[in-house]
Structure 1
């Protein structure tokens, strides 16, 4: 009995020591932009595990994107919230956010280079299995991960949450290498119905393995608890706890379908 009690105490002690580790890592893209990534992993998980890139909303690399990286780490993945604007900058004002976003998207090659720099950084981490990489994105980030899939980057899957669906470079048959999950708010007035229809038509034509989920009544930014405070700027956004939880459950199943049960 004493031995059993000692082993139980040892197990509890080790469990208490295990935690989500985080680190800010500076890196640079091919266009010379200095960026700051936010890396998270569970140190109780042994060895390399699938890696997930997290791409922020149009606000930039803020606490919400970092929290999602920690959430993924808690599920057993290696997660890196990447910086698409440079210098880790972020804002809470729509005018600045729009300027940051437009600057990042004005050159498609530069945007791809910034994403790829983050991808390579995640692959280099010892906690990451470089052969098993997926990406998720929110709002602006949803567009980014969908565009990277359209351009044929080696991603096992991408998931977009209340993301922008329109693109200047539609997917072609065979270009998308992995699966696609889109979580869209049924009450999202910032992504019009014709964009939804065009996206589905594009995916069907390109023969992409995709799932499009509509969260009933949910507005743009439905996963972000901070969304409600932005209503003061006249934005038709809002947090929806039910849609947030359901879409996260969908993501967990999506990742299991791609990679199997995380360690």
Structure 2
């Protein structure tokens, strides 16, 4: 009998070892533009599951965005790290990052088309429940997901991490379908208390289901472990904040469970 239980245990351990997060590159299109994304899921989870889009920082589709996609896959979701710039383009200097981000953020039809193309990629995945999709974004990407919520995209929820809060097209009452959470740093000069207050007023007027979480002493890019090095190299007010990073991620995981009806 002991041998039987030992064999069962070994089988379970073997199955656990075989189960792993699968990551694959995907190419898709929005109009004439080729976009290069990254899909991640855990094959230990069977059947269809909710899905999450990950929208990158202003640096472009990079390893950081892919890491977040894998972290979501470990939670049981299928995740897509999208490409908002086209052809997987990345910036290696703030001047280029600002140029790329501005080209997209000031062209809402382009931004919407590229975001929706990513949504369709997720819907087409065999592992995805197409009616259960959320989005998260960082920095530039945080602003993107908030704008998609403002426009009434069919999302269960959006989470913005140190994302831009301002907009030239405020949300209209009843337009927003997604629940919203925004994580900001109190010491982030790129956001500022005035922008947080304006965002809250906008969301209140739009009757949105939203929440803003502010972290004292947290600067811009507080979730990115490379923020200190980037800030030093380019003389930017960027800094990693481990406590804010971990807390915002924990709150975001609970948020996703809630919007997907898992909690």
Question: How many angstroms apart in 2 are the aligned matches of 1:105 and 1:177?
Answer: 21
State the Cα deviation string for residues 109-168 of structure 1 (Å, max 9, x = none): 111000000011011101111010000000000000000000010000000000000001
State the Cα deviation string for residues 77-115 of structure 1 (Å, max 9, x = none): 110000000001112210110111112223211110000
Q: Does the 8 Å contact 2:54/2:80 carry over to 1?
A: yes
Q: Does 1:174 align with 2:185?
A: no
Unpaired runs of at least 5, structure 2: none
Q: Does 1:132 align with 2:132?
A: yes
For residue 228 of structure 1, what is the aligned residue in structure 2?
228
3-state SS, counterpart of residue 79 of structure 2: strand
For residue 209 of structure 2, what is the aligned residue in structure 1?
209
Q: What pairs up with 1:136-155 in 2 under 5 angstroms? A: 136-155=136-155
Q: What pairs up with 1:13-28 in 2 under 5 angstroms? A: 13-28=14-29
Deviation, 1:229, is: 1.1
Q: Does the 8 Å contact 2:49/2:127 carry over to 1?
A: yes
For residue 240 of structure 1, what is the aligned residue in structure 2?
241
> Which one has more relative contact order, counting CA pairs under 8 Å at least 6 apart?
1
Q: Does the 8 Å contact 2:60/2:97 carry over to 1?
A: yes
Question: How many angstroms apart in 1 are the aligned matches of 2:182 and 2:106?
Answer: 24
For residue 12 of structure 1, what is the aligned residue in structure 2?
13
TM-score by length of 2: 0.97
Question: How many angstroms apart in 1 are the aligned matches of 2:176 and 2:157?
Answer: 9
Paired residue total: 261
For residue 256 of structure 2, what is the aligned residue in structure 1?
255
Q: Does the 8 Å contact 2:180/2:209 carry over to 1?
A: yes
Q: What pairs up with 1:10-89 in 2 under 5 angstroms? A: 10-30=11-31, 32-89=32-89
3-state SS, counterpart of residue 184 of structure 1: strand
TM-score by length of 1: 0.97
Q: What pairs up with 1:86-105 in 2 under 5 angstroms? A: 86-105=86-105
State the Cα deviation string for residues 28-76 of structure 1 (Å, max 9, x = none): 003x110011000000000110000000000000110000000000011
Runs of 4+ with deviation above 6 angstroms: none
Deviation, 1:192, is: 2.1
State the Cα deviation string for residues 164-193 of structure 1 (Å, max 9, x = none): 000011111111102000000011111122
* CA RMSD across the alignment: 1.0
Q: What pairs up with 1:182-201 in 2 under 5 angstroms? A: 182-201=182-201
